Structure 1
Amino acid sequence: MTQQAELSVGPLAYDDTGGDGTPVVLLHGLAQDGTVWRHVVDALGASVRCIVPTLPYGSHRIPLRPGARLSPRTMALLIGEFADTLKLGDDTVFVENDAGRLQQLAVERPERVGRMVVAGCEAFDNYPPGPAGKLLDVASRVPGGLALLAQVLSVRPLRRVPGTGYAVMSHRPVPYDLTDRWVEPLRKDPAARAVLRHYLRATVRSEMMEAADGLRAYDRPALVVWGRQDRMMPPAHGRRLAELLPQGRLVELDECGTLIPLDRPRALAAAIREFVGSTAPGA
């Protein structure tokens, strides 16, 4: 069921399956929305309570308040604010794919992140990540660049040119109904493009290195899931994250790129379900 949470920067849309299961917050990456998690939510079923926000990463449809500006750090804190607003407890499991804001939140507010799953994310010095990340970064620094990129991506075949854009993020072609949805706000809404532009320009590579170093003190359950065929997020980074997290575990998946929720949704759901069960209080 789609709802809205009123946050300091404005309203945030989210889907909530409800129920009495463990809350699992599923976080997506740039130029996407919560629909990237649709198959994982289906696979998890009623075993947990899935909460899927659509973060203001350019593909959001509900405008933020005028003048609202977000950087990677403030986006990380916004995720914590979202969980606070929903009054989620410390049993909550946060799962992130593609972006790296959960790592920053876990360092800045470890008490807010009771358990976390890092699933193919930006880490260490990997920014901008891969060809898709570099393309977004360049477009954000050229006047009219994001608008032009959105127009180019409105042509379906161009989204599947090997080694570029969404094509490099997934081992399998990303369904057109999803990319149609993700590109539309960037193509039609200047305010959505402005939010993404400011976010990209405010990114500082050293912040990710600092977050990685800070994770050494995150002594709570953590799971790292990575695709062995990931061309954006080096698989070696997944192994490094699992090693530096005091309670880190690692799951590697074959036939899988960055967009694990699309490439291997059932395997990711199974890993999340096992993690939730094995790290529950009294388990």
Structure 2
Amino acid sequence: MAEIYHDEVVKLPCGELPIRIGGSGPPLLFLHGINEAGIWSDFLASLARGFTVHAPIHPGFGGTTLPDWVQGVDDLAFHYIDLITTLGLQRPLVMGNSIGGWIATELAIFRPDLIGKLVLASALGLRPENPSPDMFILDGAEESELLSADGKPDGQVSFSDPEVLIRRWEDQAALARLMWKRPYDPRLDRRLHHIAAPTLVIWGECDRLLPASHGARLSSAITGSRFLTIRDAGHLISFDRPSELAQAIIEFGSAGRK
């Protein structure tokens, strides 16, 4: 099967950003989560049937250099504000997984005028009611078990591969820069009312990192938000249930479209 995407490098005020673009239809900006950097997954291929998908790699992830200016999630949110305006995307649907969901949340708070719709899947950022597991003390196998519904997410490469291990630790270094002190923003709950875009919050029923009740709490804090859970999915819904996740987003994105 021929690939339906192409790779570009976009010049932004803070530096160059590699991005993968594919599909056709209205624009969708995909902000990846853990272990997703630079992967054109079955999930993205499904999304590309309904959208023109723009999938950048966060600075410091996927083998890219971690620049000094990245000191927090808000820095990446403003970086993607620059991307939207540079590419001329007209009120795209912005979708974020995990850490990407946190970035998407901040983006929607800072520039609600730029976003058409917002999808937050297993999004980090909101302070949990109970302490969440410390991902920085886990090895690859333990992380896989924590993040997936069954411990073996579809499409995830074996952590016995040395290149995979190196890439994982590079990504962990970038994550540490963003959330070593705490994996949430204590100010976020006071800012969520600034989100103006129609919002869909999606959670895996088997999420071991942050339970579905956390997703429901996030959704209830965003005016008019819808909340959806997906069965037999853990934190990495895009690996565990790619078709169901993509279909939910396509239906949400097409609702009300003329």
TM-score (norm 1): 0.76
Alpha-carbon contact 2:199-2:225 (below 8 Å) kept: yes
1:176 CA drift (Å): 4.3
**Residues 13-34 of structure 1: CA distance to partner in whole angstroms, max 9, x if unpaired?**
1110153x11111111245414
Consecutive unaligned residues in structure 1, runs of 5 or more: 139-148, 154-158
Aligned position for 1:177: 157
Structure 1 CA distance, aligned partners of 2:227 and 2:172?
35
Alpha-carbon contact 1:28-1:97 (below 8 Å) kept: yes
Change in CA separation of 1:204 and 1:271 when aligned onto 2, cut-off 3 Å: closer
The answer to whether 1:200 aligns with 2:167 is no
1:182 CA drift (Å): 5.3
Change in CA separation of 1:279 and 1:222 when aligned onto 2, cut-off 3 Å: farther
Change in CA separation of 1:234 and 1:85 when aligned onto 2, cut-off 3 Å: same
1:10 CA drift (Å): 2.2
Structure 1 CA distance, aligned partners of 2:66 and 2:11?
10
Aligned position for 1:113: 115
Structure 2 CA distance, aligned partners of 1:234 and 1:178?
26
Aligned position for 1:28: 32
Change in CA separation of 1:127 and 1:15 when aligned onto 2, cut-off 3 Å: farther
Of the three residues 62, 65, 88, the one matched with 2:64 is 62
Aligned position for 2:3: none
Q: Which moved more, 1:41-50 or 1:232-241?
A: 41-50
Secondary structure of the 2:120 match is strand
The answer to whether 1:224 aligns with 2:201 is yes
The answer to whether 1:213 aligns with 2:215 is no
1:40 CA drift (Å): 1.2
Alpha-carbon contact 1:129-1:232 (below 8 Å) kept: no
Root-mean-square deviation (Å): 2.7
1:87 CA drift (Å): 1.3
**Residues 209-256 of structure 1: CA distance to partner in whole angstroms, max 9, x if unpaired?**
422332223232111111111111221121122222222111111101
Which amino acid is the alignment partner of residue 243 of structure 1? S
State the aligned residue count: 247
**Residues 140-189 of structure 1: CA distance to partner in whole angstroms, max 9, x if unpaired?**
xxxxxxxxx8xxx5xxxxx33xxx313200113034427656543355x6
As a proportion of its length, which structure holds more helix? 1
Secondary structure of the 2:104 match is helix
